[in-house]
Amino acid sequence: MNKRIITGFLACVLWLTVAAQENDREQSGRKFSSLLGLLELNYLDSVDLSVLTESAIKAMLKELDPHSVYIAQKDVEKTNEPLVGSYDGVGITYQIMRDTIRVISATPGGPSEEAGITGGDRIVCIDSENATGKTLDETFVRSRLRGKRGTEVAIGVLRFGHDSILTFKVTRDKIPIQTIVASYMLDENTGYIRLNRFSSQSAREFRAELKKLKEEGMENLVFDLRGNSGGYMNVAVDIASEFLEKGKTVVYTQGLHSPRQDYVSDGNGLCRHGRIILLLDEGSASASEIVSGAVQDNDRGLLMGRRSYGKGLVQKSYFLPDGSQVRITTARYYTPSGRCIQRPYGEGNENYFREYSRRLKHGELVHADSIRFPDSLKYYTASGRLVFGGGGIMPDLFMAVDSSLQSAYYGQLVRKAVITEYCVGFIDKQRSNLKKRFRDETAFIREFQVDDAMMEGLLRLADQREIARNDEQIAVSSLLIRTQVKASLARSLYGLNAFHRVLGELDPMLIRASEVIEDVDEYQRLTLGQ
């Protein structure tokens, strides 16, 4: 009898609670609608209710957490593009330089390549409209080159060695956005893959690259997630599963309205054996941290680099009636050991997004001992190694930011895009000769050298761009400048993979990873935390 009374009482409390919540929601809705009506009828000037509503939504979400956001209807497609993994357009990589659209490369197999457009072309008109000048910007280019699949656009280009404009009819098509920007063998046994985003296609891309590298002899892998800000959680689970035996926890999620859900590996991964090193830094976030946490907590591999961003919140997207979209945080995610690595955000969004500056100021990017985790956030991996939650994932082997080759002079070359401008001019004249001299990107990377004559040509261009010469700083950055020139030329000739291969030869973290992964004793010592 008492149980029936208690059950009835609880049901009554629940009903009253739900009723109160519904009443609060109705009152809030009426309150907001009343205010809009008052403004429309009484404000001294005309008001745009849609603008006011959007502003109110943004302010409302800002009160929740830094990652719940509103996306206006006009921005939905553009914002979701990196996650969808494709767009409709002509398929070129370009750069706007000195009021001109310079084609870096055409997407292999894409509509522009099939039409005949190639790297080095300068786009001067689109559908008979002038496409040069000081008003040229990204919005102009995107609005004219992108469009519905199957539609046609006429692109006029200037090409080195041709006196007149060449016009190409290009039929727009679906263009994939590759999220793996580099994939190659570091040596006979070790492969390297760099992923810049977790889009809907990333797991498929990753698996395809693993198969290719295994056919080339890969036994171990360096997986680069530096600067990878995340993406889809389910894709992170699929990629992490490539490293884990069946039944291992990858991540679990939980929230007030989201009961705990565990995600486990399926046991079909291609990298369940062999040594694994993951590279991460302060820009590695969200899905990158899911993969890193799964590898670390399951003692599957070694994490190298700097403390990750610290985003442990899960968002879901919902469309509003006008086609706009909100991404609402619905749960926290936890690594296999139980860590939630979300950074505190109670001091406001503005302070939250200044994290990089804070880390820089406190010396965290160069000194591992400047990082402090509270004892209350201690957790342990499967083998009993100590790890911490509450503020990103700390790698097993810290690597400081290396600025030994940096200088103020080099910084000006980058900011004024002088290296890029020099390489574009060089490629215009030497593309065919370079293609004849080097049969493929490997030959180019192995044999091509940026000589003193090229270096002097670059410095003369810098003089013209009003960058004062500083011989001391040039000497400090000489190797970096030459490597950047070689990488830019490699990209123009062979694509993004060649670009990263060249830069990798001067990458301290990648060089160290190559050493550690080949040294079995050191790898095991670091992985076990000894």
Q: What is the set of active-site residues?
A: 286, 297, 311
Tokens of 415: 């900011």
Q: Which residues pair with 317 in a beta bridge?
A: 327
Cβ(157)–Cβ(121) below 8 Å:
yes
Q: Which residues pair with 253 in a beta bridge?
A: 261, 333
Q: CA-CA distance, 486 to 48, in Å (whole number)?
A: 53
Burial zone of 127 (CB within 10 Å; 0-12 exposed, 13-18 middle, 19+ buried): exposed
Tokens of 389: 């939650």
**Beta carbons within 10 angstroms of residue 55's beta carbon:** 12
Among candidates 415, 396, 394, which has minimal Cα distance to 406? 415
Question: Rounded to the nearest 5°, which phi and psi values hold at 177?
Answer: -100, 105
| Half-sphere exposure of residue 79: CA atoms within 13 angstroms, side-chain side | 13
**Beta carbons within 10 angstroms of residue 250's beta carbon:** 28
Cβ(134)–Cβ(97) below 8 Å:
no
Q: CA-CA distance, 75 to 404, in Å (whole number)?
A: 41
Question: For every residue of 246-300, which 3-state class applies, written as one string?
Answer: CCCEEEEEEECCEEEEEEECCCCCCCCCCCEEEEECCCCCCHHHHHHHHHHHCCC
| Half-sphere exposure of residue 346: CA atoms within 13 angstroms, side-chain side | 1
Cβ(401)–Cβ(370) below 8 Å:
no
Q: CA-CA distance, 119 to 13, in Å (whole number)?
A: 69
Cβ(242)–Cβ(193) below 8 Å:
no
Tokens of 14: 């629940």
Q: CA-CA distance, 124 to 132, in Å (whole number)?
A: 6
Cβ(101)–Cβ(134) below 8 Å:
no
Q: CA-CA distance, 369 to 364, in Å (whole number)?
A: 8
Rg value, the chain, Cα:
27
b/e per residue, 374-399, with b = 16+ CB within 10 A?
eeeeebebeeebebbbbbbbbbbbbb
